Amino acid sequence: MLKVGIDIPVPFVEHIGICMLEKSPGKVRLFLESKSELKNSWGSLHGGVIMTLLDVALASAGRSLDDKCKGAITVELKTNFISVANGTVLAEGRAQRAGKSLIFSEGEVSDRDGVILAKGTGTFKLIYS
């Protein structure tokens, strides 16, 4: 059984059920099982859920580069929706460029078969206090 949540407590992340699968320096993989309260009027996962999953994956990838980092604030997030999301979804975030206080990350959300459902990029300000 997967533990809901990520490596820092974020009540909303826990509420929607995001689980950490893997974390290494600069890379994070997350998992989310679809449930009825996360669906849109067409019965697929709501776009806001997909964007949240990408936001968490990209920010967590950036934070993974520095153990002293306590959190990340989203400065900019861009998402391209490619296909409808149903069932279990996986997200991968990769830190691409680290400055003194800003991190740029990219990643994607896919289904269990590896079909890409959305791609995203983001800039995050790292928090240390």
pLDDT on residue 3: 62
- Name the band, by pLDDT with cuts 50, 70 and 90, for residue 101: confident
Give me 85's structure tokens. Answer: 């999301």
Q: What is the separation, in whole angstroms, between the first and last Cα of the chain? A: 33
- Name the band, by pLDDT with cuts 50, 70 and 90, for residue 2: low
- CA dist 29 and 94 (Å) reads 9
Fold assignment, 11-127? Thiol Ester Dehydrase; Chain A (3.10.129)
- Name the band, by pLDDT with cuts 50, 70 and 90, for residue 9: confident
Domain chopping of the chain, boundaries: 11-127
Query: What average pLDDT does the segment 82-109 reach?
Result: 93
